[in-house]
Amino acid sequence: MPAVMINTDSRKKALKISNLALEKKAEDIRILDMQKVAAFCDYFVIAGAGSSRQAGAIANHIEDSLAKQKIKLYHSEGKTNNHWILLDYVDVIVHIFHEDARRFYDLERLWGDAKQVKVSTGVES
């Protein structure tokens, strides 16, 4: 069986994104390591927001901060109603949910085979 390559740059990006979400008071942030369960990305970052306005603010903060670091956003969806905002950075996909939408879609359960990465207040190296 071949060894699985762990993309440390993707992991650092996911941790950076989780910290940016924390700066805007995102709730219950989870990072799922998708490398062994899906071929379309390395990590999911899932964050909750108490309101649609907060979800939009979290998304804008992540986009603006990463753009300043020359990290390109490939695609985004959901910014018209802010109940589920998706930011696609190719290797890391960010899901920002209003609490009702998060309970309904329950990505953590849907992708329950994915290993969770500990979210901390400082970026790990």
In a domain, 49, yes or no: yes
In a domain, 1, yes or no: no
In a domain, 124, yes or no: no
In a domain, 53, yes or no: yes
pLDDT of residue 62: 98
pLDDT of residue 99: 85
CA distances from 24 to 39, 47, 54 (A): 30, 11, 8
Strands 75-77 and 43-49: unpaired
- Dump pLDDT digits (tens) for 68-101: 999 999 999 998 888 899 999 999 999 999 988 8
Q: Can you give the pLDDT of all 125 residues of the chain as single tens digits?
A: 444 445 669 999 999 999 999 999 999 999 999 988 888 999 999 999 999 999 999 999 999 999 999 999 999 999 888 889 999 999 999 999 998 888 888 888 788 788 888 886 544 43
In a domain, 50, yes or no: yes
Structural domains in the chain (count): 1
In a domain, 122, yes or no: no
In a domain, 3, yes or no: no
The β-bridge partners of 115 are: 33
87: containing domain: 8-117
pLDDT of residue 81: 86
Query: What CATH number is associated with residue 59?
Result: 3.30.460.10
Sign of the CA dihedral with 109 first, then 86, 15, and 43 last: positive
pLDDT of residue 111: 86
pLDDT of residue 121: 55
pLDDT of residue 45: 97
Q: For residues 79 and 84, give the distance between their C-alpha atoms in angstroms, rounded to a whole number.
A: 8
